[in-house]
């Protein structure tokens, strides 16, 4: 087993364990903390794939912004801090069966996929290339602009929801 | 040429619809009725003019002339690649006969309605729908493609549905309308599928392209198409087992029963089979189905009519039975005879219904013939016209019903359908019995009227009597357009319709004169026996009927209940469907509404509170269903993969 | 370092840009005008929508330009633009009085309506998984907020939350599917995926699984069984004008993307996906119709009916041929008028005095023919058209897609469709009967109906009659649009 494989397994444990924690935690606050763990695990994958920039973004945006925002929201609403919720409900059997079936189907299919892989090295200046691709008309400037509309929509929506009547 | 203005025929009723629908509320009541009636009269006049024009043309296409058939383009309805549907009018002997019958009888019944419905509240609505009905019926019979026919088919169904439920305050009327609608949908479903299959097979839905090509398709396909079309015909024309709606449809106003449920709409199925006979002839088994269903319906409905007490129900079962005759004729390949009977039946059954309406009008809505009696003296004009109707329906010689029934029975016999012919013969006797039973019980004997009712008995106004009288003339004289072949003069209607059915491959060997006379003699005997029996039971030995009923109680009850067709449907189809519907919708609905009401309180305000909703609400159920769907789709791909990779 | 300015032919996305700018304009104008003048915002929005519609029509010269594998202004997109803009324009007309009555904040309302419209149009134009997803989210997020905009109504907030949570769930499936497809094809461009699909000898498992997951994602947006369960709750809870808009717009957009992905990118794998779509179609129409049978609440009934119609429309897609594709397009166009129109009548009925059910129950419609003959005629037309009664638009649309299914060898699906139409007529006609054949409560005095709504209803009613009788021009457009997608 190579080092990177060991690291991969450890990171997987972190990501999946965190995700399980989110689902099974009785306390919402703990669930949010588990979410952070899961996010960090995913950031680790990016590092392993030599996509350091994405790893940074993952940490900054998901851990630094999203998870923290969730934790703020939970802490600010008193009832949620203290209340214990029941993660199991009456349809858990069905859910487990369906989830297991989906898992089995995916495993079955993905196991016989001939994954396309590239031998190319990661370019040294990946960040500048990424930046250029993002604003280059031949690559992603259009989705970039469309994404700005999406953000605008989200912003307007958030303001409307949050505003007092 | 004048024939190119055929579109005026449906245009007049349409104009009537538009005027009365949009201005009717502000117009005086009489004017509304006058506009509606005039529209139909104009339409009839146009049809009559075209009919005589057509008579002046050569019967067969010759020397560049198209003969009596012509297609009058109206507009291109659908043009999508190779899918082209023209909304054209097909003018030929068959469609002009249908148009004449429809507009003629409609005109008289419109005029009658002016008197009959005078006191009704939703006067303009009634006439609007009645005009709309005539318009749709004309689209049905004049259209030159299956699709235009289907437009009319659905349209008349809709009008019929609305008019049956016209007295919507009555629960029974609303239910009857619903039943008529549902049963007809079964038929419409067959028709729609049939048309779809025609389109898939022929790549066209125009009569002019489908029917000539019919012989070239495989017999299996032809059988499927023909049976699907016949399912539609059976629904519209109330043939077993889709007959159950017609008796209940009598909840509608009587002129509606006369027009829609006796004279015109219910004959649409007959018209369709006649029009598309080329398809039926490719598959003899389909044609056999038509014949046997027709014969059985004729016989069974007649036995039910024997014992009904409600005058309109007798007439309704009689209509089912007479329609059965027409299908019997179609199945035996005697198409012209079927159309002939369609016409005479429109006259005399329309007349009988109008007579029944006149009786109801006089007796404050009484329907039970055993609570009538002696009306002969109180309603002399109604009696005279009703008598002619009864004579015609019974098939008494020299009245119209006699000739058309004769044409059907001899056609069936010559077509080699001996058992159906026998059923038809017996039915002729039964018909005479129940027709005269109504006449004797309601119009003869002693008055059994309610004292209160009796004081108000009055003959109907002239506006109702005149249409009845005119129909009576037709019910008598209408038969002379189709004299029996054996007389050597030739049947005018058969000759006129001959070009339409010229492509028929069914061979009818005309029997010898002696045989023809023998057949006529047999049916006269059957009719005479029926009349005599009715006279014996209901005039000579009043009270015998009751004893007979007692001695055959179970049989009587069975027939009275129409062989429990309704209950069979109820238990076999309606109940299970209802349970299914409740299972699918009811259970889910109940819970989600309750949950929504209970759960709502926690929601407003903090979005965080809403998260709890995830744990307690139904969202998780919805999500699970989605999850299940995803798994099912993936499982399909996996299974496909296992099988093919 | 040289900086090259992007060279864009902005004309290609001009309709979308016009709608977006109008949305911003509404937002700005909303800030500067007084409270009593807010009603004018609707007219600003309407002008923008109409301008975008005119532009879409004008752009349609058969050249089918595309922007860098991201967006295309081909006939397919432009045709669907028209359907979407019809829904938006009708929704604005229906909102004129309704927003005030219900107390919706008009500035935000029209802004979101336009943003959502822009999202739908972008989705119709998107030819890249990335733009598809972004457009989907734009339209979805605006709709989530629009659904919950009625603060006074508790059901509105609940509906918004349900829609949001389940929508996020569906987006997850969609994104996962896209990721798998990208993993195999190495590109997000639909043209590239098409090439990858054609390249492989046998269908790659990854591509198929990706497609399956995407079908689930789009299936949620267009309400296919079993991804439809949110529909009745959301349609009922949302402000009615929003329901009118989203019941059409979101469906059109969802079908637009599904059509592009299935017919174009995965066109060569038709044998693999058509059964999935055919079964979903049959299921969807059946479940929708059976559930609608028992509804007394009209909004809920129309919600189930809209599920059924998604099933009918999907039959055209499952047919997989050119006729089915143009049938689908025609169906969506006709559906825009009849469905939006039906909801408009509910909006109008909510004003009647004595409308105990807020204009949403059958009882509220009792005797409408006597009180408001014009509205009753229009509603009857909408119901009959939805039921597929000839010669209205709905009949022709069904004929079109079922005919295509028959030609595509899916006769059983056409049979399902016909049986379902037969069933559905029952509950549509119940409304007609209620209007024409029942007495209204004497207290139920009709209030005047807003002129804008009347105009919208009249336009929709005339449109479904014209589309039924003279479908030629629109059918031709739909055929050109289908060819733009299928090529040839």
- B306-333 residue pLDDT tens: 888 888 888 889 999 999 989 988 888 8
B260-274, B613-627, C319-333: lowest mean pLDDT where? B613-627
- Residue A121: inside a domain: no
The predicted pLDDT at position C302 comes to 92
- Residue A120: inside a domain: no
C10: which chain A residues are within 8 Å (Cβ-Cβ)? Answer: none
Examine the pLDDT at C460 and tell me if it is beyond 70.
yes
- Residue A156: inside a domain: yes
* pLDDT tens digits for range B157-173: 888 888 887 776 677 77
Mean local confidence (pLDDT), B22-37: 81
Examine the pLDDT at B182 and tell me if it is beyond 60.
yes
Neighbours of A48 (CB within 10 A): 14
Residue of B nearest to C434 (CA): B168
Interface probe for C, chosen from B132, B173, B189, B192 (most Cβ of C below 10 Å), is B192
The predicted pLDDT at position B608 comes to 31
Considering the domain architecture, whether residues A91 and A156 belong to the same structural domain is answered as no
Angle ∠(B228,B231,B234) on CA atoms, nearest 5: 155
Rounded to the nearest angstrom, the gap between the alpha carbon of residue B200 and the centroid of all alpha carbons in its chain is 28
The answer to whether B509 faces chain C, any CB pair under 8 Å, is no
Residue A76 belongs to a domain with what CATH number? 1.20.120.1200
Q: Quote the percentage of chain A above a pLDDT of 90.
A: 28
Q: What's B72's DSSP letter?
A: E
B92-96, B287-291, C36-40, C220-224: lowest mean pLDDT where? C36-40
Examine the pLDDT at C443 and tell me if it is beyond 60.
no
The predicted pLDDT at position B579 comes to 61
Q: Quote the percentage of chain B above a pLDDT of 90.
A: 2
Helix (H, G, I), strand (E, B) or coil at C154: helix
The answer to whether A150 faces chain C, any CB pair under 8 Å, is yes
Considering the domain architecture, whether residues A144 and A90 belong to the same structural domain is answered as no
Shortest distance between the Cα of A105 and any Cα of chain B, in A, equals 6
Neighbours of C86 (CB within 10 A): 23
The predicted pLDDT at position C342 comes to 93
The answer to whether B641 faces chain A, any CB pair under 8 Å, is yes
The predicted pLDDT at position C448 comes to 74
Residue C99 near residue A130 (C-beta atoms within 8 A): no
The answer to whether B634 faces chain A, any CB pair under 8 Å, is yes
Q: What's the domain range around A34?
A: 1-111
- Residue A117: inside a domain: no
A112: which chain C residues are within 8 Å (Cβ-Cβ)? Answer: 205
Interface touch C68/A109, C-beta < 8 Å:
no
The per-residue b/e assignment along B463-473, b for 16 or more CB within 10 angstroms, e otherwise, is: bbbebbbbbbe
Which of B112-116, B625-629, C29-33, C256-260 tops mean pLDDT? Answer: C256-260
B607 confidence band (pLDDT: 50, 70, 90) = very low
CB neighbours of B553 closer than 8 A, spacing ≥ 6? none
Examine the pLDDT at C176 and tell me if it is beyond 80.
yes
Which of A134-138, B446-450, C3-7 tops mean pLDDT? Answer: A134-138
A37-46, B254-263, B346-355: lowest mean pLDDT where? B254-263
CA B381 → CA B358, B373, B386, C157, C226, distances in Å?
Answer: 10, 15, 8, 71, 66
Examine the pLDDT at B112 and tell me if it is beyond 60.
yes
The predicted pLDDT at position C263 comes to 92
C294: which chain B residues are within 8 Å (Cβ-Cβ)? Answer: 581-582, 585-586, 589
Interface touch C138/A165, C-beta < 8 Å:
no
Interface touch B77/C475, C-beta < 8 Å:
no
Residue C213 near residue C174 (C-beta atoms within 8 A): yes
Residue B207 near residue B90 (C-beta atoms within 8 A): yes
Interface touch A142/C141, C-beta < 8 Å:
no
Rounded to the nearest angstrom, the gap between the alpha carbon of residue B194 and the centroid of all alpha carbons in its chain is 19
The answer to whether C391 faces chain B, any CB pair under 8 Å, is yes
Considering the domain architecture, whether residues A7 and A74 belong to the same structural domain is answered as yes
Considering the domain architecture, whether residues A21 and A99 belong to the same structural domain is answered as yes
Examine the pLDDT at B558 and tell me if it is beyond 80.
no
Residues B200 and B180: their CA atoms lie apart, in Å, by 30
Q: Which residue has the higher pLDDT, B172 or A42?
A: A42
The predicted pLDDT at position B600 comes to 31
Residues B143 and C396: their CA atoms lie apart, in Å, by 17
Examine the pLDDT at C209 and tell me if it is beyond 50.
yes
The predicted pLDDT at position B583 comes to 55
- B634: nearest CB among A86, A99, A105: A105
Residues B231 and B179: their CA atoms lie apart, in Å, by 17
Interface probe for B, chosen from A25, A74, A101 (most Cβ of B below 10 Å), is A101
Residue A14 near residue A38 (C-beta atoms within 8 A): yes
Considering the domain architecture, whether residues A106 and A133 belong to the same structural domain is answered as no
Considering the domain architecture, whether residues A100 and A70 belong to the same structural domain is answered as yes
Interface touch C138/A141, C-beta < 8 Å:
no
The predicted pLDDT at position A40 comes to 92
B431-440, B478-487, B611-620: lowest mean pLDDT where? B611-620
Mean local confidence (pLDDT), A122-143: 82
Neighbours of B53 (CB within 10 A): 16
Q: A66 pairs with which residues across the strands?
A: none
CA B361 → CA B113, B130, B308, B442, C40, distances in Å?
Answer: 12, 20, 20, 14, 60
CB neighbours of A90 closer than 8 A, spacing ≥ 6? none
Residue B594 near residue C152 (C-beta atoms within 8 A): no
- Residue A118: inside a domain: no
Interface touch B630/A102, C-beta < 8 Å:
yes
Shortest distance between the Cα of B634 and any Cα of chain A, in A, equals 7
Residue B97 near residue B339 (C-beta atoms within 8 A): yes
Interface touch A91/B630, C-beta < 8 Å:
no
Neighbours of B455 (CB within 10 A): 9
Q: Angle between the C298-319 and C270-292 helix axes, to the nearest 10 degrees?
A: 160
Interface probe for A, chosen from C187, C206, C211 (most Cβ of A below 10 Å), is C206
Neighbours of B360 (CB within 10 A): 18
* pLDDT tens digits for range B507-540: 666 667 788 888 888 888 888 888 888 888 877 7
Shortest distance between the Cα of C118 and any Cα of chain B, in A, equals 27
Residue B103 near residue B94 (C-beta atoms within 8 A): no
Residues C415 and C103: their CA atoms lie apart, in Å, by 46
Q: Which residue has the higher pLDDT, C417 or B204?
A: C417
Q: C 67-86 residues with CB below 8 A of A?
A: 67-68, 70-71
Considering the domain architecture, whether residues A24 and A95 belong to the same structural domain is answered as yes
Helix (H, G, I), strand (E, B) or coil at B89: strand
The predicted pLDDT at position B601 comes to 30
Residues C185 and C173: their CA atoms lie apart, in Å, by 18
Q: The complex's ipTM?
A: 0.90
Examine the pLDDT at C457 and tell me if it is beyond 90.
yes
- A116: nearest CB among C141, C148, C186: C186
Q: Which residue has the higher pLDDT, B204 or C211?
A: C211
The answer to whether B605 faces chain A, any CB pair under 8 Å, is no
Considering the domain architecture, whether residues A105 and A145 belong to the same structural domain is answered as no
Closest C-alpha among B209, B141, B93, B100 to residue B499:
B93
- Residue A73: inside a domain: yes
The predicted pLDDT at position C170 comes to 94
Examine the pLDDT at B606 and tell me if it is beyond 50.
no
H/E stretch holding B85 reads strand B83-91
- B641: nearest CB among C205, C391, C471: C205
The predicted pLDDT at position C150 comes to 85
Model pTM?
A: 0.85
The predicted pLDDT at position B599 comes to 34
Rg value, chain A, Cα = 20
The predicted pLDDT at position B587 comes to 42
Considering the domain architecture, whether residues A61 and A138 belong to the same structural domain is answered as no
Considering the domain architecture, whether residues A106 and A164 belong to the same structural domain is answered as no
B617 confidence band (pLDDT: 50, 70, 90) = very low
Mean pLDDT of chain C: 87
Residues in chain A: 165
Q: Which chains touch C (3 or more CB pairs under 8 A)?
A: A, B
Examine the pLDDT at A128 and tell me if it is beyond 80.
yes
The answer to whether A152 faces chain C, any CB pair under 8 Å, is yes
Q: Is C353 exposed, middle or buried (0-12, 13-18, 19+ CB in 10 A)?
A: exposed
The predicted pLDDT at position C456 comes to 93
The predicted pLDDT at position C18 comes to 94
Examine the pLDDT at C353 and tell me if it is beyond 70.
no
The predicted pLDDT at position B643 comes to 63
- Residue A119: inside a domain: no
- Residue A151: inside a domain: yes
B571 confidence band (pLDDT: 50, 70, 90) = low
Mean local confidence (pLDDT), A99-127: 80
Interface touch C227/B626, C-beta < 8 Å:
yes
* pLDDT tens digits for range B399-419: 888 888 888 888 888 877 788
Considering the domain architecture, whether residues A25 and A106 belong to the same structural domain is answered as yes
Domain count, chain A: 2
Residues in chain B: 645
Considering the domain architecture, whether residues A107 and A135 belong to the same structural domain is answered as no
Phi, psi dihedral angles at B76 (to 5 degrees): -85, 115
* pLDDT tens digits for range C358-411: 677 887 888 787 778 888 889 999 999 999 888 899 998 998 898 888 888 888
Q: B143 pairs with which residues across the strands?
A: B89
Residues C354 and C441: their CA atoms lie apart, in Å, by 8
């Amino acid at each position: 087993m190579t080092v990177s494989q060991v690291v991969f397994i450890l990171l997987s444990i972190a990501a999946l364990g965190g995700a399980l924690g989110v689902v099974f935690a009785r306390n919402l606050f703990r669930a949010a903390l588990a979410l952070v763990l899961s996010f960090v695990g995913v950031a680790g994958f990016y590092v392993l794939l030599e996509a350091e920039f994405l790893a940074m973004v993952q940490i900054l945006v998901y851990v630094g912004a999203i998870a923290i925002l969730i934790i703020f929201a939970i802490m600010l609403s008193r009832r949620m801090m203290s209340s214990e919720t029941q993660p199991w409900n009456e349809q858990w059997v069905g859910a487990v069966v369906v989830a297991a079936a989906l898992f089995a189907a995916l495993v079955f299919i993905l196991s016989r996929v001939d994954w396309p892989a590239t031998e190319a090295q990661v370019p040294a200046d990946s960040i500048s290339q990424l930046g250029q691709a993002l604003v280059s008309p031949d690559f992603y400037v259009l989705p970039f602009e469309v994404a700005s509309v999406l953000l605008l929509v989200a912003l307007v929506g958030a303001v409307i929801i949050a505003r007092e009547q | 040429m004048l024939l190119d203005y055929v579109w005026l025929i449906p245009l007049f009723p349409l104009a009537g619809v538009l005027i009365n629908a949009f201005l009717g509320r502000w117009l005086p009541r009489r004017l509304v009725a006058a506009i509606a009636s005039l529209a139909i009269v104009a339409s009839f006049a146009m049809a009559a003019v075209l009919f005589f024009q057509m008579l002046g043309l050569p019967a067969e296409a010759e020397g560049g002339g198209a003969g009596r058939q012509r297609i009058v383009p109206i507009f291109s309805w659908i043009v999508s690649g190779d899918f082209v549907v023209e909304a054209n009018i097909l003018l030929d002997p068959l469609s002009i006969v249908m148009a004449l019958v429809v507009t003629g009888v409609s005109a008289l019944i419109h005029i009658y309605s002016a008197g009959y419905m005078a006191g009704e509240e939703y006067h303009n609505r009634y006439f609007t729908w009645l005009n709309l009905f005539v318009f749709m019926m004309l689209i049905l019979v004049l259209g030159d493609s299956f699709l235009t026919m289907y437009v009319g088919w659905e349209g008349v169904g809709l009008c019929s549905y609305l008019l049956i439920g016209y007295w919507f305050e009555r629960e029974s009327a609303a239910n009857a309308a619903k039943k008529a609608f549902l049963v007809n949908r079964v038929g419409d479903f067959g028709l729609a599928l049939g048309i779809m299959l025609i389109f898939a097979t022929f790549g066209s839905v125009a009569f002019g392209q489908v029917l000539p090509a019919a012989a070239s398709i495989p017999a299996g396909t032809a059988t499927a198409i023909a049976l699907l079309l016949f399912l539609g015909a059976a629904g519209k024309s109330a043939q077993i087992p889709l007959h159950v709606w017609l008796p209940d449809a009598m909840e509608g106003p009587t002129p509606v029963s006369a027009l829609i449920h006796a004279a015109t709409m219910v004959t649409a199925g007959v018209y369709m089979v006649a029009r598309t006979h080329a398809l039926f002839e490719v598959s003899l088994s389909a044609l056999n189905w038509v014949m046997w269903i027709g014969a059985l319906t004729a016989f069974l409905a007649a036995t039910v009519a024997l014992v009904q007490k409600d005058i309109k129900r007798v007439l309704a079962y009689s209509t089912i039975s007479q329609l059965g005759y027409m299908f019997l004729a179609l199945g035996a390949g005697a198409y012209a005879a079927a159309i002939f009977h369609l016409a005479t039946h429109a006259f005399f059954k329309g007349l009988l219904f109008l007579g029944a309406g006149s009786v109801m009008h006089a007796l404050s809505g009484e329907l039970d013939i055993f609570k009538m009696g002696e009306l002969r003296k109180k309603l002399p004009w109604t009696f005279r016209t009703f008598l002619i109707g009864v004579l015609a329906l019974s098939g008494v010689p020299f009245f119209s019903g006699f000739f058309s029934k004769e044409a059907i029975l001899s056609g069936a016999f010559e077509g080699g359908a001996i058992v159906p012919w026998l059923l038809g013969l017996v039915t002729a006797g039964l018909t005479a019995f129940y027709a005269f039973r109504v006449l004797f019980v309601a119009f003869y004997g002693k008055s059994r009227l309610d004292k209160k009712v009796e004081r108000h008995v009055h003959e109907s106004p002239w506006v109702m009597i005149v249409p009845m009288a005119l129909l009576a003339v037709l019910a008598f004289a209408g038969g002379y357009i189709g004299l029996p072949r054996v007389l050597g003069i030739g049947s005018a209607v058969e000759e006129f319709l001959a070009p339409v059915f010229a492509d028929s491959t069914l061979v009818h060997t005309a029997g010898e004169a002696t045989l023809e006379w023998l057949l006529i003699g047999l049916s006269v005997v059957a009719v005479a026996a029926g009349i005599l029996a009715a006279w014996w039971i209901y005039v000579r030995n009043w009270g015998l009927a009751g004893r007979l009923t007692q001695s055959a109680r179970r049989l009587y009850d069975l027939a009275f209940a129409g062989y429990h067709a309704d209950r069979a449907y109820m238990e076999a189809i309606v109940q299970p469907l209802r349970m299914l519907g409740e299972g699918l919708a009811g259970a889910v609905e109940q819970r989600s509404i309750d949950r929504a009401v209970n759960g709502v309180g926690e929601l407003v305000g903090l979005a965080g509170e809403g998260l709890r909703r995830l744990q307690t609400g139904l969202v998780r159920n919805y999500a699970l269903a989605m999850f299940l769907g995803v798994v099912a789709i993936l499982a399909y791909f996996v299974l496909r993969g296992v099988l093919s990779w | 370092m040289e900086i090259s300015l992007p060279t864009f032919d902005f004309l290609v996305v001009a309709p979308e840009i016009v709608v977006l700018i109008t949305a911003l304009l509404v937002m700005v104008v909303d800030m500067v005008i007084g409270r009593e003048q807010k009603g004018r915002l609707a007219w600003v929005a309407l002008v923008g929508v109409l301008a975008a519609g005119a532009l879409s029509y004008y752009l349609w010269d058969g050249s089918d330009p595309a922007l860098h594998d991201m967006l295309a202004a081909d006939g397919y997109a432009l045709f669907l633009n028209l359907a979407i803009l019809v829904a938006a324009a009708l929704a604005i007309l229906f909102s004129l009085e309704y927003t005030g009555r219900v107390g919706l904040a008009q500035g935000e309302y029209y802004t979101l309506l336009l943003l959502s419209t822009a999202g739908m149009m972008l989705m119709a134009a998107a030819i890249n998984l990335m733009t598809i997803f972004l457009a989907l989210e734009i339209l979805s997020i605006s709709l989530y907020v629009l659904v919950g905009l009625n603060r006074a109504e508790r059901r509105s907030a609940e509906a918004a939350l349900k829609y949001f949570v389940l929508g996020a769930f569906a987006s997850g499936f969609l994104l996962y599917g896209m990721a798998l497809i990208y993993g195999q094809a190495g590109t997000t461009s639909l043209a590239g995926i098409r090439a990858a699909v054609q390249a492989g000898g046998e269908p790659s498992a990854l591509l198929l699984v990706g497609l399956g997951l995407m079908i689930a994602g789009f299936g949620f947006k267009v309400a296919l069984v079993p991804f439809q369960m949110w529909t009745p709750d959301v349609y009922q809870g949302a402000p009615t004008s929003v329901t009118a808009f989203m019941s059409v717009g979101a469906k059109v957009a969802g079908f637009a993307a599904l059509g592009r992905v299935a017919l174009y990118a995965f066109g060569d794998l038709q044998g693999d996906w058509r059964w999935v779509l055919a079964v979903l179609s049959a299921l969807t129409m059946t479940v929708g119709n059976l559930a609608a049978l028992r509804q007394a609440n009209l909004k809920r009934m129309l919600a189930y009916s809209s599920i059924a119609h998604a099933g009918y429309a999907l039959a055209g897609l499952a047919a997989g041929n050119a006729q089915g594709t143009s049938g689908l397009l025609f169906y969506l166009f006709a559906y825009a008028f009849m469905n939006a129109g039906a909801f408009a009548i509910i909006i109008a009925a909510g004003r009647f005095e004595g409308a105990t059910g807020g204009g949403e129950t059958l009882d509220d419609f009792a005797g409408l023919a006597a009180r408001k003959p014009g509205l009753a005629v229009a509603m009857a037309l909408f119901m009959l058209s939805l039921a597929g009664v000839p010669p209205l638009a709905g009949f022709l649309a069904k004929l079109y897609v079922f005919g295509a299914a028959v030609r595509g060898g899916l006769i059983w699906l056409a049979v399902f469709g016909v049986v379902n139409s037969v069933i559905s007529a029952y509950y549509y006609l119940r409304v007609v009967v209620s209007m024409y054949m029942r007495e209204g409560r004497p207290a139920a005095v009709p209030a005047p109906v807003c002129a804008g709504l009347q105009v919208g209803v009249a336009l929709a009613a005339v449109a479904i009659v014209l589309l039924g009788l003279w479908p030629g021009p629109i059918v031709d457009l739909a055929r050109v649009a289908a060819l733009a997608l299928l090529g040839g």
